Amino acid sequence: MIDDFAKDFLHGRLKVIRETLVWKLDGLSEYDVRRPLTATGTNLLGLVKHMATLEAWNFGEVFGRPSPEPLGRWQDADGGDLWATPDETRAEIIDFYQRAWGHADATINELALDAPGHVPWWSWSDVKLINIMVHVLQETTRHAGHADILREQIDGRTGLRAGYEEQIDTAAREAYWAKIEQAAQAAADGAA
């Protein structure tokens, strides 16, 4: 009984956070979804592409259910899944992610939480479905958090999804930012 509850709960959270990650691209230009926004090149569309590949490997290869999509071998991973080439469209990458969801969802629905898997790229390679579900949920949540910060840098939009988004109050944000900056400066001055 608890296994069904845990599986449904984890799967439900994964479905929500996947949608959140894709929503972070909504309304942005091709340049803004692709441009590097950190020193390491992190970008919004690259996060979506990365998660598509991650789901395809983890819910496919790990359980002997290879993705119907042609994927690079995990041994050859070179960071190419972290950014979009000029000839890859946003629609193609989102569609790939959604197809990866479908394959992952089928794996989750068809296997028990204790179904065995093998992750050759991990030091402890023998796993169960629950390990992979928690891992992918954690990775998706982590990258959705990155996407939230990147999106905020671009146009100030934040939130889990459109239905929960609040109008941007620029004056309130600036006052709040100034309050935090003042506290940081006071702490730095006191430490000196």
**How confident is the model at residue 77, as a pLDDT?**
64
Residues in the chain predicted with pLDDT less than 50, given as ranges, are none
**How confident is the model at residue 74, as a pLDDT?**
55
Fold category of 2-191 in CATH: Four Helix Bundle (Hemerythrin (Met), subunit A) (1.20.120)
**How confident is the model at residue 10, as a pLDDT?**
97
**How confident is the model at residue 73, as a pLDDT?**
57
Q: Give the start-to-end residue ranges of the domains of the chain.
A: 2-191
| 3-state DSSP helix/strand/coil % of the chain, to nearest 5 | 65, 5, 30
**How confident is the model at residue 72, as a pLDDT?**
64
Q: How many CB atoms lie within 10 A of CB 112?
A: 12
Map residue 118 onto helix, strand or coil: strand
pTM of the model: 0.90
Q: How many CB atoms lie within 10 A of CB 68?
A: 12
